[in-house]
Amino acid sequence: MTAINGLDESFLQGVAGKRVLVRSDLNVPLDGATITDDGRIRASVPTIEALAAAGARVVVAAHLGRPKGEPDPAYSLAPVAARLGELLGRRVAFATDTVGTSAQETVAGLADGVVALLENVRFNAGETSKDDAERGAFADQLAALADVFVSDGFGVVHRKQASVYDVAQRLPHAMGGLVAAEIDVLRRLTVDPARPYVVVLGGSKVSDKLGVIDNLLGKADKLLIGGGMVFTFLKADGLEVGQSLLEEDQLDTVRAYQARAKELGVEIVLPTDIVVADSFGDEASARVVAASAIPAGTLGLDIGPESGKAFAAALADARTVFWNGPMGVFEQPAFADGTRAVAAALTEVDGLSVVGGGDSAAAVRSLGFDESAFGHISTGGGASLEYLEGKELPGITVLED
């Protein structure tokens, strides 16, 4: 079995008439049955389209949300099947189960060049089981539906799950175009990146980014810190942070990172002003205060306007940028300007600009930016972070045999 990076021509020439199981990442946000951000579906289309055009009988497997190993209508992929069909310009057959009668009949009825989507793989407890035998049994059922496996769900390659890891051990397999592109970009961020190299980190918790900070301190030239995680940094410097998000147990770790950054000559840039409010979501009371003068009873919910300008200036001469995590609660207009400032600065980067998936990618789209203005928008926040931490990704290593 050989992993093919990006489905080369020789691979595509061999799939006509074959059942190809594609593990995509279609985990999109839903409001009821309405998809509020279809970015991951659109990113999955090129590989599916290429296989269908080559005459494969394409069977797409994916998950949505975190159902508890059994069917839950709230997490059905039915709306995704409809949207995928619109993007492909053809009807996508939808199996109402994953490996049961509907899946078997749907796959058996496929003609060359036709696409089907299986119901949420996480409706089966075997998908995410920690027990190898249980996970393997489910993988056996999935593998029975196909002749070949293509791994194209980058957002899940850091998970040792049945449809990501175990199926690849049971079928001839290939790396899809999306996963190949993601890995290529991440290698450029970690192996001899063009300099200056600036990393922008936000989001709610320092603990979510510890491994990334640890690994990139030796690689980046500047580290810009925003979002909820910044308050642990400010507190580590002895400042009042009011009722803002704070991880008291990470203060010593943060101080150690600051000391190490100083030794290595890596500049850590923190906000000098903060947008605060009296309570979460209280846009009416939003106001800008100095980062050194956050009132005791308030919450910090965004970096301030001066910080937005300073972050943009720090990015102005960058040749490589990785950004993961919004600067504030961007879903609310009063707390979106910091994230908007960083996104706008990335569009001006003369080099490689990477938006690291998750909330950052959602922010770029919700704030109305043209996705083509960025070098790369990742589909996998967690997978990107684990790669940058230097961890092995099970869904990638299993393809490398």
Tell me which of 69, 113, 211, 382 is the catalytic residue. 382
| Distance, CA of 32 to CA of 357 (rounded, Å) | 23
| Contact predicate 244/231, CB 8 Å | yes
209 labeled binding residue: yes
Q: Which of 336, 352, 256 is nearest to 302 (CA)?
A: 336
Q: What radius of gyration, in Å, describes the C-alpha atoms of the chain?
A: 22
The CATH number for 9-179, chosen from 3.30.70.2340, 3.40.50.1260, 3.40.30.10, 1.20.1250.20, is 3.40.50.1260
Q: What rounded mean pLDDT belongs to the chain?
A: 94
40 labeled binding residue: yes
- Region 373-400 average pLDDT: 91
β-bridge partners, 321 = 198, 353
| Distance, CA of 256 to CA of 258 (rounded, Å) | 5
φ, ψ of residue 155 to 5 degrees: the values are: -65, -10
357 labeled binding residue: yes
Tell me which of 91, 188, 205, 309 is the catalytic residue. 205
63 labeled binding residue: yes
**pLDDT at 194 > cutoff 90:** yes
Q: Is the pTM of this model over 0.95?
A: no
**pLDDT at 205 > cutoff 90:** no
188 labeled binding residue: no
**In whole angstroms, what separates CA 267 from the centre of its chain?**
26
Catalytic status, residue 358: yes
Please report the pLDDT score of residue 3 as a whole number.
Answer: 38
Q: Which of 49, 160, 60 is nearest to 107 (CA)?
A: 60
Query: For residue 370, with 0-12 CB atoms within 10 Å meaning exposed, 13-18 middle and 19 or more buried, which class applies?
Result: exposed
β-bridge partners, 200 = 224, 323
**pLDDT at 1 > cutoff 50:** no
For the domain made up of 192-389, the CATH class stated in words is: alpha beta
Please report the pLDDT score of residue 209 as a whole number.
Answer: 87
| Distance, CA of 355 to CA of 365 (rounded, Å) | 11
Catalytic status, residue 205: yes
Catalytic status, residue 227: no
Tell me which of 203, 228, 338, 358 is the catalytic residue. 358
Residue found under tokens 């196909």 = 146
Q: Where do you find CATH 3.40.50.1260 in the chain?
A: 9-179, 192-389
pLDDT digits (tens, 9 = 90+) for 216-242: 898 999 999 999 999 999 999 999 999
Name residues whose C-beta falls within 8 Å of residue 236's C-beta, 6 or more positions apart in sequence.
251, 254, 255, 258
Considering all CA atoms of the chain, what is the largest pairwise distance in Å, rounded to the nearest integer?
A: 67
Q: Which amino acid would we find at residue 303?
A: I
**Sign for the pseudo-dihedral over CA of 285, 290, 296, 298:** positive
| Distance, CA of 285 to CA of 304 (rounded, Å) | 15
pLDDT digits (tens, 9 = 90+) for 59-94: 999 999 999 999 999 999 999 999 999 999 999 999
The count of residues in the chain is 401
**pLDDT at 4 > cutoff 60:** no
Half-sphere exposure of 111 (CA within 13 A, CB side): 1
| Distance, CA of 85 to CA of 74 (rounded, Å) | 20
DSSP 70-92: S--GGG-SHHHHHHHHHHHTS--
